[in-house]
Amino acid sequence: MPKFSLAALTVLELAPPELVEVAAACGYDHVGIRLLAAVPGGLAYPLMDDQAALKETLARLDASGITVADLEVVAFRPETEVATFAAFFETGARLGAKNILVAGYDPDLDRFTDRFAKFCEAAAPHGLTADLEFMPWTSVPDLRTANRIVAQVGQPNAGVLVDALHFDRSKSLLGELVRIPADRLHYWQLCDGPAKRPATSEEMMHAARFERMFPGEGGIDLVSLARTMPVDIPISIEAPTVTLAKTLNAEARARRALEAAKKVLAAAWP
């Protein structure tokens, strides 16, 4: 039976306590919490700097039975220093989180690989994995590059994060995915999008951050992707739909996303 997580980006207007409440009401098993902004000035909920909000989030997790699957977003840029994440790790451990989403925005991949290895080492004592997400517009543009870096760092808690949209848009291959050791895949992200790929990186970024589709409602071959992924890792439903959010509240969107995901997985794993 798949375990589903409500990704922060799907309902980013919700602070973590409300995110937990909505996840519980809709029947999710986990949530992902965005502690750090994906881009400078972006929306995030830094619980490490807000003890009252952290306490409230912990109380709602305890009351609901929802657990925290992943923390977002550690975006490595040339100036990023691993030492700055001490409070982030400690807060993640208090939340009982399992995974950290890492993105690479450092064009010097040797430097990034070295820092990613140190990040993995720093995260490990807190029970956290570090999962490298490939995105076509970043310095880690595809599955092959992400897997090479994770293999190179050689840390047991290092993982590759597969997002269905980025997998398709990066033209990564199922044949590459099937060769990745299962212990490098800690969770994955599910959504959909039009079969036609965006023409530019700007269009790709906009769609990824604001206008995805619920699973099964677009043109990506999600069934084949699901059949290639391990069946025993959490599935994070990450489907921001900003236009739809103008007429449909967070709970309704989260519920619709989960129902759609279950249909896809039922087709993949009958």
3-class SS at 97? coil
pLDDT for 1 equals 80
Q: pTM of the full predicted structure?
A: 0.97
Q: Along the chain (270 residues), what's the average pLDDT of each consecutive run of 10 residues?
A: 95 98 98 95 96 98 98 97 98 98 98 98 98 98 98 97 98 97 97 95 95 98 98 97 97 98 96
CATH 3.30.479.10 fits 4-268, yes or no: no
The residue assigned the tokens 């807000």 is: 50
Q: What are the start-end ranges of the E strands in the chain? A: 4-6, 30-34, 67-76, 99-104, 129-133, 158-163, 188-190, 235-237
Where along the chain do its domains lie? 4-268
CB count in 10 Å sphere of residue 183:
11
pLDDT for 207 equals 95
